[in-house]
């Protein structure tokens, strides 16, 4: 990794972060390279969302350095597409899908005429790219969990970002929909670096390229494997992978001793 | 009935009702979609302290209401940003404190007993011309601010985290929205009084929400409803010779329950 000549997409060095004096992330070092498809796993409260918010520039680290495309996160934000957790969205706001995606075109605050014809054209393209072109005139409140996820993805894609950060994108989607969604992300991954926070380990393991385990400390695994050691380190309890029926899955390789542990 | 419309006080009453209707339609829409009806009620009631201050120190009550509304909305903004999960208690305490201060200051004012009811329930039939100018000025400020920041306020209401990532100044806009609520309280107090502000801000946007594909449409429908409620309320108050503010709220509330019953029976 360190011998790589290109600038990493995400470069975090010696980063620590605390909420109200309780340490959430401790001495994090993490490099994500171009075209990676990284899964972020870990227990609830382990710091996954905090890590995401630091990368987006929504939080500033107490210690250490964070660079996205070689720049401070806030400066890099035009190159970052983001979908927050589904619970962040207030569905009592009456809004068409097209309007929701247009939000992705916004820059800074204020203005009498906010959206140009080319913004609307980009919205159409993003909706098509996300397979949601038929939903353009629907109301966000009418969408199913899976449809809403596609629309939020379109909103993240509308500015043609080079990095996609998705926080639990399939939390309200059935397993069929999850698998389709990750197939779709895999296609996008030809052009875009992807970082996805998820609990859907079975679906993840057949699509991703690397794993980021977050539980106060952060461990990077440069292979698409989720081993039982990683699970128990990340979730503090032995986890059994159980599956029924024709769910795509793979047998995972045994975990090797981790030299940065 | 028609000759009533030509009387001077009736002109002022209709103008005041229209101003309140416009302001409540616009700000009420954001109050309803953000579910902060309680905050707007808190600001309105805290503003009663402003009546007490104005009477005690001898300046215009509407000026006192304006100053205290602005102060209250800034405090509410700070509380709802910094102590979100304790905000309801803080709002409740400010609500009561404002009312208590208002009453105590009025008690302490020697020899002068202002008509309490006119601030509690409005005095639309006796709105002075000067107050109409202040109300119009505030309505223009609110219209321009919401016009300029419309999409930002919508983004803030829909998904604040995403809005921040897109570089929208979410904290500033939150304070600005609270300030707009404070200013609209000032406009509405003359019409329906501070106790009934909540009703005018929440009833018509809530009804409109069912039929609206966007916040802008919601504002338009609410505006129409508010004007109808104000006109019917004024007529009712003249016919029955009862207070105008409560009559407007009575009409609006009947419409609210009517729509609820029709909608739930479908």
The SS3 of residue A112 is coil
Res. A68: pLDDT tops 90: yes
Domain count, chain B: 1
The residue segments making up the domain with residue B115 are 2-265
Provide the token pair at B24: 């409540």
* pLDDT score, position B1: 55
Res. A3: pLDDT tops 90: no
Shortest CB distance from B154 goes to which of A57, A77, A93? A93
Where does the pLDDT of residue A237 fall: very low under 50, low under 70, confident under 90, or very high at 90 and above?
very low
**Picking from A1-10, A81-90, A139-148, B235-244, which range would have the lowest pLDDT averaged per residue?**
A1-10
How many CB pairs (< 8 A) connect A and B?
Answer: 89
Residues of A with CB under 8 A from a CB of B: 56-58, 77, 80, 82, 84, 88-90, 92-96, 99-100, 103-104, 106-112, 114-115, 139, 155
Cα A63 to the chain's mean position, in Å?
23
Q: How far does the CA of residue A192 sit from the closest CA of chain B (Å)? A: 18
Domain CATH for B202: 1.10.3470.10
Could you tell me which residue, A126 or A199, shows the higher pLDDT?
A126
- Portions of chain A given CATH number 3.40.50.300: 10-226
Which CATH class, in words, describes the domain spanning A10-226?
alpha beta
Tens digit of pLDDT at every position of chain B (266 positions): 556 666 777 888 889 999 999 999 999 999 999 999 999 999 999 999 999 999 899 888 889 999 999 999 999 999 988 877 788 898 999 999 999 999 999 889 887 666 777 888 888 888 888 889 989 999 999 999 999 999 999 999 999 989 999 889 999 999 999 999 999 998 998 888 888 889 999 999 999 999 999 999 999 999 999 999 999 999 999 999 998 889 999 999 999 999 999 988 87
- Which residues in chain A have Cβ-Cβ distances shorter than 8 Å to B157? 90, 93
Shortest CB distance from B166 goes to which of A95, A106, A111? A106
* pLDDT score, position A241: 46
Where does the pLDDT of residue A255 fall: very low under 50, low under 70, confident under 90, or very high at 90 and above?
very low
Shortest CB distance from A93 goes to which of B158, B162, B165? B158
The rounded percent of chain A whose pLDDT value lies above 70 is: 84
The tens digit of pLDDT for each residue in A82-134 reads 999 887 888 889 999 999 999 999 887 788 878 889 999 999 999 998 888 89
The tens digit of pLDDT for each residue in A210-227 reads 888 888 888 888 877 777
């Amino acid at each position: 990794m360190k011998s790589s000549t290109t600038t990493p997409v995400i470069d975090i060095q010696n980063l620590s972060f605390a909420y109200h004096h309780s340490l959430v992330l401790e001495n994090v070092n993490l490099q994500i390279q171009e075209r990676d498809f990284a899964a972020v796993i870990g227990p609830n409260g382990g710091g996954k969302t905090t890590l995401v918010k630091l990368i987006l520039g929504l939080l500033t680290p107490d210690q250490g350095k964070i660079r996205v495309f070689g720049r401070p996160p806030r400066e890099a934000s035009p190159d970052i597409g983001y979908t927050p957790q589904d619970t962040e969205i207030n569905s009592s706001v009456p809004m068409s899908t097209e309007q929701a995606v247009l939000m992705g075109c916004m820059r800074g605050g204020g203005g009498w005429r906010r959206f140009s014809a080319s913004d609307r054209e980009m919205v159409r393209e993003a909706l098509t790219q996300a397979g949601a072109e038929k939903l353009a005139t629907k109301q966000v409140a009418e969408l199913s969990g899976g449809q809403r996820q596609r629309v939020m993805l379109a909103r993240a894609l509308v500015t043609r970002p080079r990095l996609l950060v998705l926080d639990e994108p399939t939390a309200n989607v059935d397993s069929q929909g999850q698998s389709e969604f990750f197939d779709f992300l895999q296609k996008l991954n030809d052009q875009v670096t992807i970082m996805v926070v998820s609990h859907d380990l079975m679906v993840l393991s057949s699509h991703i390229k690397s794993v980021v385990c977050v539980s106060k400390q952060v461990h990077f695994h440069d292979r698409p494997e989720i081993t039982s050691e990683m699970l128990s380190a990340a979730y503090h309890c032995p986890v059994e992978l159980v599956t029924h029926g024709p769910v795509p899955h793979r047998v995972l390789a045994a975990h090797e001793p981790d030299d940065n542990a | 009935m028609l000759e009533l419309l030509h009387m001077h006080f009736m002109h002022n009453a209709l103008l005041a009702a229209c101003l309140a209707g416009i302001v409540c339609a616009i700000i009420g829409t954001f109050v309803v979609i953000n579910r902060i009806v309680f905050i707007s009620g808190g600001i309105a009631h805290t503003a009663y302290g402003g009546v007490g201050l104005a009477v005690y120190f001898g300046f215009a009550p509407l000026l006192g209401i304006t100053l205290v509304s602005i102060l209250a909305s800034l405090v509410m903004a700070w509380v709802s940003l910094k102590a979100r999960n304790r905000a309801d208690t803080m709002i409740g305490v400010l609500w009561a404190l404002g009312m208590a201060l208002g009453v105590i200051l009025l008690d302490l004012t020697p020899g002068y007993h202002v008509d309490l009811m006119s601030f509690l329930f409005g005095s639309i039939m006796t709105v002075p011309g000067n107050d109409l100018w202040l109300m119009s000025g505030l309505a223009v400020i609110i219209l321009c601010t919401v016009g300029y920041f419309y999409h930002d306020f919508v983004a803030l209401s829909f998904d604040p985290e995403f809005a921040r990532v897109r570089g929208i100044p979410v904290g500033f806009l939150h304070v600005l929205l609270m300030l707009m609520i404070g200013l609209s309280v000032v406009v509405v107090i003359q019409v329906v009084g501070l106790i009934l502000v909540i009703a005018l801000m929440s009833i018509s946007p809530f009804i409109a929400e069912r039929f609206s594909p966007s916040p802008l449409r919601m504002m338009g429908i609410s505006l129409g409803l508010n004007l109808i409620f104000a006109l019917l309320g004024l007529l009712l108050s003249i016919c029955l010779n009862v207070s105008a503010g409560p009559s407007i709220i009575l009409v609006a509330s009947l419409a609210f329950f009517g729509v609820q019953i029709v909608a739930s029976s479908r």
